[in-house]
Amino acid sequence: MADVTNPENEGDLQAQIEEVEALSSIYGEEWCVIDEASRIFCIKISDDLEEPKLTACLQIILPYDYPSAAPPIYQINAAWLRGPERTRLANSLEDLYVENVGESILYLWVEKVREFLLEKSQSSETVEQPEKVNMTAEEEVDDPEDIPDFKTLQLNTEHAHLFMDHANDEELPPINHGNAITDRRSTFQPHLAPVVTPRQVKMVLGKLYENKKIASATHNIYAYRIYCEDKHSFLQDCEDDGETAAGGRLLHLLQILDVRNVMVVVSRWYGGILLGPDRFKHINNCARNILVEQGYTAAMDEATKSGAKTKRPKSKKTK
């Protein structure tokens, strides 16, 4: 991670110190320091301090050049938050950043998330156990892979600029839809798009969620890998969307196949019958099929036939 004590960034460091002190004073025990040296923090946000119905955890990394030139890198953890709602909240946070470029933004973000939770809890969509929203009985057993790993937040902030919204001229990548697999009334369908920036990932997700059928899927699991030529490393991430550990397995498939600059989304419509481990097989088979159909595995297949061994660039997971 870049050195936050660089003299050129003393102004940003002082602004961060003052902002963190203020937030700690305002939110008390809700505010948590994960790694002060790496500028990693977390805050638990709820819709009501006395009788919370909905909660979310906002994890934050402060880049060395925040707030003057870069936005905070963030992740929202909430089992009930999925699909279009997650996208809508993320967009509202990034809109706030754009409106306040160069200024401390965390307090506005926290209160925006709280406002979102309050709106959600007051809507007719609220359920008594939000943590179980959109989860089938197959996922109700705790899985260690589903526990947030704060270490994954300690990414190099040299990639932070890729998350900034200064690429409004970017075009929506073409989205391909693969053949569906149906098993015991559950249906799985893959979608694929070439991507070279995290913003394009968001654009693809937004476009997919415009389709009412896809938006209504029980889970929309996705993973992507973007190769950064200048750093000789990968920018990659994944999302379970309630299907515990599925996103990580999908990302692992992309890593094994050594594909790059691509995102794969697998939609699952749950049919009421538990599939057990077979669901992961169908998700990965869907993904592999569409990667093969679109030619993303050709290079690896050729290398396998020739017995060639390739040196893989290091990977960085974003959140």
**117 and 14 part of one domain:** yes
Check residues 18 and 86 and name the one with the higher pLDDT: 18
pLDDT score of 193: 95
pLDDT score of 318: 52
User: Of 79, 101, 121, which residue constitutes the final position of a domain?
Assistant: 121
pLDDT score of 300: 52
User: Which range of residues forms the domain containing residue 203?
Assistant: 176-294
Structural domain includes residue 164: no
Structural domain includes residue 278: yes
Structural domain includes residue 145: no
**186 and 286 part of one domain:** yes
Mean pLDDT across 129-146: 43
Candidates 189, 208, 193, 199; CA nearest to 235 is 199
pLDDT, tens digit, for every residue of 27-58? Answer: 888 888 887 888 888 898 888 767 778 888 88
Check residues 135 and 283 and name the one with the higher pLDDT: 283
**116 and 181 part of one domain:** no
Is residue 7 pLDDT above 70, yes or no? no
Structural domain includes residue 234: yes
Structural domain includes residue 316: no
**117 and 205 part of one domain:** no
Is residue 309 pLDDT above 60, yes or no? no
Q: Which two tokens stand for residue 130?
A: 């939000």
CATH number of residue 185's parent domain = 3.30.230.30
| Number of domains making up the chain | 2
CATH number of residue 97's parent domain = 3.10.110.10
Is residue 12 pLDDT above 80, yes or no? yes
Measured distance CA(85)–CA(100) in Å, rounded: 23
Q: What percent of the chain has pLDDT over 90?
A: 29
**102 and 13 part of one domain:** yes
pLDDT score of 188: 96
Measured distance CA(33)–CA(294) in Å, rounded: 44
Structural domain includes residue 246: yes
Alpha-carbon dihedral 276, 280, 283, 286, rounded to 10 degrees: -100
User: Of 85, 105, 121, which residue constitutes the final position of a domain?
Assistant: 121
Is residue 107 pLDDT above 70, yes or no? yes
Structural domain includes residue 134: no
Structural domain includes residue 136: no
**29 and 102 part of one domain:** yes
**198 and 98 part of one domain:** no
Is residue 283 pLDDT above 70, yes or no? yes
Mean pLDDT across 250-270: 93
**264 and 199 part of one domain:** yes
Of 6-20, 90-104, 161-175, highest mean pLDDT:
90-104
**100 and 195 part of one domain:** no
User: Of 99, 121, 143, which residue constitutes the final position of a domain?
Assistant: 121
Q: What is the pTM of this model?
A: 0.53
Candidates 85, 262, 284; CA nearest to 181 is 284
**34 and 109 part of one domain:** yes
Q: Is the dihedral of CA 19, 20, 26, 30 positive or negative?
A: positive
